[in-house]
Structure 1
Amino acid sequence: MGKKNKGKRQKTKPIPRPAPKPAPDAPAALGAPAVSKTRPASIHIAAPQAARPLELLSFDVFQRFSAFHRIVGMLNAGKGASILDVGGYPGALTDSLLTAFPDFKMTILDKPVCNRPDYVSGSADALPFQDGKFDIVISSDTLEHIPPERRAVAIVEMLRVSRRWIILGAPFQSPCASFVEESINTLHQKCFGKPNQWLAEHISNVLPDLEETQAILEMGGAAVGILPNGSSLSWFIMESAQILMEVLPMLSPIKPALNLGFNRFWAADDDAEPAYRHILVADKAGHPPVAPDVPAADEKAVLQKLRALNELVLSMAEQMLGLLSDPAAISPIIVTRYIRQMEEIIAFQEKEERRLREAMERQEVYLSRLRKSFLYRLLNKLGLM
């Protein structure tokens, strides 16, 4: 599992506020989706077609991507801005940003080989680009997958190739973040007989340290703002629910609706402490981004809730797995689901039959009118029909 977590709550340094009269190119105030009712128009995603695909993503990806959309939009980088996505394979975040900001020039860097024209194979701790090559360097949930001894070098490399901004998001060490990852990984092991690939790597590597990451960026001359992204409590509830839905196959179709509901109605107010993930926004020009005032949370109380929920979830998993191993108990559920599926198929076929019948009736009416027309009768009389 790697070395033990520090176990203490990470306290971030106070985020400096901008001068009363910031430079014209200073970024707008950073904020969570529902924090500010007077946000500049530039904060909103310009292309409406980008919002729908975002909503349809899993809740965890939606929270990350939508936060990066908002932050990139607030930086006012200008038309044709260049962005490097470190660890962005296979390009989902890049494609999402290009939908919202089609004028941006995106480059992806990651280890796997990929034949995209905007993709470069390489390592985060040895970026194959010249100094200041990109206006913005972004990295979403990549730092925790880099071995601890190489993380500082990777951050310094991001600073080097960025002309101005670095946006770095990841789950960082905290009692709650570590607890929910270990608990979900245990639940995954219990339900599917193997650990979650990504969480196992997080646990093995040990999550990065938020204060250390901030310090490295500041030593590189950047002003840093820190945003919470997704509460640990919500992350645990949603991950648990999705695993339990996969245990019973008949519940799996509900997962997209669960994610969509969260993304539409819950996520906007969910960037709260104790957060599962934090996003650091660093500006090498020295204009500190203004982070929203997030109320301090009683992490011990939240951790107590998480422990109680974890016991409940594990108990539910036991019951569901026991149900699946008992043919007499599971048979009525499977039969009921099968009957429901058959009813849905029959209803669809009946609907299609009505649609085709109505289309044929419309064609008959049209042909009847056509046969009565002067032109039809004339052509028919001349033997041309």
Structure 2
Amino acid sequence: MSTPQQIRPGETLDVDRTDPAYREWLKEAVRRVQADANRSADTHLLRFPLPEHWNIDLYLKDESTHPTGSLKHRLARSLFLYGLCNGWIRPGRPVIEASSGSTAVSEAYFAKLIGVPFIAVVPRTTSREKCRLIEFHGGQCHFVDDPRTMYEASAALAAETGGHYMDQFTYAERATDWRGNNNIAESVFRQLRLERYPEPAWIVATAGTGGTSATIARYVHYMQHDTRICVADPENSCFFEGWTTGDPDVTCDCGSRIEGIGRPRMEPSFVPGAVDRMMKVPDAASVAAVRALESAIGRKAGGSTGTGLWSALKIVAEMVAEGRHGSVVTLLCDHGDRYLDKYYSDAWLAEQGLDIAPYTHAITSLLKTGVWPD
């Protein structure tokens, strides 16, 4: 692939889509993105240890093993194919994305793969490690102080540079083929096929764009499974309130401390009608859960994993109390090494005023007694 033509701010670069050179560039770009998927093995389904006599299995779909280390690798691949095939991503023009970090890391990877510039519009509070990874993959970081301004800043940068604003929050739910085609839902059910409870009672997801919960829920309905979908929402996020009140215009004034999930508005990719249940999870509970995960299986994970795991454990507690058997699945969204200065730092917890002790006690009590403390 030839070196992409660079453009200056404010310059317009028109592309003749009938030009053979452009069509060859497009075919090669699509081939490179599809080849990345072909090289990638599926991600693991890990078991969280529970007492055997409960007859309940808890699994985590480990998305941290993707080439860019997170669940967002799937989304970024789908968004790039969607943008390329729509004629939105063009040679020499930058791709711009509003992101709290992980999507930007993955999109920087794909931008470099096809030879276009990439600019990530991220909150200034984004972890240093995520910013380093964006730059490692050839991207640039454009910081905003207020996460609510990411959308406008991204659109403005696209207009200024003649680039394409990817807009994951709008296109996440439509860029992924929710009917199958090796999406995350199809993968989970395939991996559970030989387990004792192959059809999970619940799948727990967390919402940043809402695209993952939409993909999983739609697939479950399409395949006529009895599985229920729960979305776990952190503090300083409006998805829970919007879902419970039915108000699509609900907003939140503060940014989420749990990177990757939690939004100040109801994002267009969130599909509330496909979801069976939502839980509001305190941030301290999310941190307690990821630390409990490390104790249980020796794996560090990001805060969004903790939000989902906390909700999954509460569902397990309900099943134990009701004498129900079955399986529950949640997601290990990304690796905890990206957050050593946050969720694994006692100094950061103190700075944020977060006390994880009561939530750690709740998890410990459940695993020892089978009872969730009041």
Q: TM-score, normalised on structure 2? A: 0.30
Greater helix share, structure number: 1
Which is bigger in relative contact order (C-alpha 8 A, separation at least 6)?
Answer: 1
Q: TM-score, normalised on structure 1? A: 0.29
